[in-house]
Amino acid sequence: MAGSSLGLFLLFSLFLGQCVVELEASHRVFQNLQTSEPTSESQPYRTGFHFQPPKNWMNDPNGPMVYKGIYHLFYQYNPKGAVWGNIVWAHSTSTDLINWIPHDAAIYPSQKSDIKGCWSGSTTMLPGGKPAILYTGIDPNDKQVQNLAVPKNLSDPYLTEWVKSPKNPLMAPTAINQINASSFRDPTTAWLGPDRIWRVIIGSKINYKGLAILYRSKNFVNWTASKQPLHSAEHTGMWECPDFYPVATEGVYGVDTSTKGSSIKHVLKVSLDDTKHEYYTIGTYDTATEKYVPDEGQVDSDSGLRYDYGKFYASKTFFDSVTLRRILWGWINESSSVEHDIKKGWSGVQAIPRKIWLDKSVKQLVQWPIAEIEKLRVNQVKFPSKFLKAGSIAEVKGVTASQADIEVSFKIAEFEKAEVLEPGWTNPQLLCSQKSASVKGALGPFGLLVLSSKSLEEYTAVYFRIFKDHEKYVVLMCSDQSRSSLDADNDKTTYGAFVNVDPLHEELSLRSLIDHSIVESFGGKGKACITARVYPTLAIDDDAHLYAFNYGTEKINITSLSAWSLKKAQIN
Ligand code: DQQ
Task: Give the distance (Å) from ligand 1 centre to CA of residue 24.
Answer: 25
Q: 218-264 pLDDT, tens per residue? A: 999 999 999 999 999 999 999 999 999 999 999 999 999 999 999 99
Mean pLDDT, residues 291-300 taken together: 94
Percent of the chain residues past pLDDT 90, beyond the cut: 89
Q: 118-129 pLDDT, tens per residue? A: 999 999 999 999
Please name the residue whose Cα sits nearest to atom 11 of ligand 1.
Answer: 314
Is 1 contained in some domain? no
Task: Please check whether residues 165 and 293 belong to one and the same domain.
Answer: yes
Please name the residue whose Cα sits nearest to atom 9 of ligand 1.
Answer: 240
Q: 458-471 pLDDT, tens per residue? A: 999 999 999 999 99
Q: Which of 88, 89, 119, 334 best tests ligand 1's pocket when mutated (most atoms within 8 Å of CB)?
A: 119
CATH number at residue 547: 2.60.120.560
Which residue out of 60, 139, 243, 405 is catalytically annotated? 60
d(CA 204, CA 478): 32
Task: Please check whether residues 268 and 298 belong to one and the same domain.
Answer: yes
The pTM score is: 0.93
- Please name the helix (run of DSSP H) or strand (run of DSSP E) that holds residue 106, with its range, or none: strand 101-107
Active site residue 60: yes
Q: Quick check: 310 pLDDT over 60?
A: yes
Q: Quick check: 28 pLDDT over 50?
A: no
Beta bridge partners of 70: 67
Task: Give the distance (Å) from ligand 1 centre to CA of residue 438.
Answer: 37
Cβ of 183 less than 6 Å from ligand 1? no
For the chain, the domain total comes to: 2
Pick from 369, 402, 422: which residue ends a domain?
A: 369
Task: Give the distance (Å) from ligand 1 centre to CA of residue 88.
Answer: 11
What is the torsion angle, in degrees rounded to the nearest 10, for the CA atoms of residue 253, residue 249, residue 125 and residue 352? -50
Please name the residue whose Cα sits nearest to atom 5 of ligand 1.
Answer: 240
Task: Please check whether residues 181 and 262 belong to one and the same domain.
Answer: yes
30-45 in b/e form (b: 16+ CB < 10 A) is eeeeeebebeeeeebb
Please name the residue whose Cα sits nearest to atom 6 of ligand 1.
Answer: 119
Is 150 contained in some domain? yes
Q: 390-412 pLDDT, tens per residue? A: 999 999 999 999 999 999 999 99
Task: Please check whether residues 215 and 341 belong to one and the same domain.
Answer: yes
Pick from 327, 348, 369: which residue ends a domain?
A: 369
CATH number at residue 13: 2.115.10.20
Cβ of 333 less than 6 Å from ligand 1? no
Mean pLDDT, residues 165-189 taken together: 95
Task: Please check whether residues 231 and 168 belong to one and the same domain.
Answer: yes
Q: 542-569 pLDDT, tens per residue? A: 999 999 999 999 999 999 999 999 999 9
Q: Which atom of ligand 1 is nearest to the CA of 186?
A: 8
Decide if 179 contacts 204 (C-beta within 8 A): yes
Query: How would you classify the pairing of strands 354-358 and 365-369?
Result: antiparallel
Task: Please check whether residues 446 and 485 belong to one and the same domain.
Answer: yes
Q: Provide the domain limits for residue 72.
A: 6-39+55-369
Q: Quick check: 4 pLDDT over 80?
A: no
Decide if 474 contacts 419 (C-beta within 8 A): no
Decide if 210 contacts 270 (C-beta within 8 A): yes
- Please name the helix (run of DSSP H) or strand (run of DSSP E) that holds residue 533, with its range, or none: strand 528-533
Q: Quick check: 5 pLDDT over 60?
A: no
The residue ranges of DSSP E strands in 207-364, in sequence order, are 209-217, 223-225, 231-233, 239-248, 264-272, 277-286, 291-294, 313-320, 325-332, 346-347, 349-350, 354-358
Task: Give the distance (Å) from ligand 1 centre to CA of residue 241.
Answer: 7
| Degrees to nearest 5, angle at CA 154 with 148 and 157 | 110
Cβ of 119 less than 6 Å from ligand 1? yes
Confidence of residue 301 (pLDDT cuts 50, 70, 90): confident
Task: Please check whether residues 328 and 393 belong to one and the same domain.
Answer: no
Task: Please check whether residues 173 and 304 belong to one and the same domain.
Answer: yes
- pLDDT averaged over every residue in the chain: 92
Is 572 contained in some domain? no
Amino acid 413: pLDDT = 84
Is 383 contained in some domain? yes
Is 78 contained in some domain? yes
Is 205 contained in some domain? yes
Task: Please check whether residues 473 and 348 belong to one and the same domain.
Answer: no
What does DSSP assign to residue 112?
G
Q: Which atom of ligand 1 is nearest to the CA of 121?
A: 8
Query: How would you classify the pairing of strands 349-350 and 325-332?
Result: antiparallel
Task: Please check whether residues 451 and 319 belong to one and the same domain.
Answer: no
Residue 512's contacts (CB-CB under 8 Å, 6 or more residues apart) are: 405, 406, 448, 450, 462, 519, 520, 521, 522
Q: Quick check: 16 pLDDT over 60?
A: no
Task: Give the distance (Å) from ligand 1 centre to CA of residue 551.
Answer: 41
Task: Please check whether residues 200 and 243 belong to one and the same domain.
Answer: yes
Residue 431: φ, ψ to 5°:
-60, -40
Is 49 contained in some domain? no
Pick from 319, 349, 369: which residue ends a domain?
A: 369
Is 489 contained in some domain? yes
Task: Please check whether residues 403 and 330 belong to one and the same domain.
Answer: no
Task: Give the distance (Å) from ligand 1 centre to CA of residue 463.
Answer: 32
Q: Which of 107, 134, 185 best tests ligand 1's pocket when mutated (most atoms within 8 Å of CB)?
A: 185
Q: Which of 59, 62, 146, 211 best tests ligand 1's pocket when mutated (most atoms within 8 Å of CB)?
A: 59
CA atoms within 13 A on the CB side of 334: 25
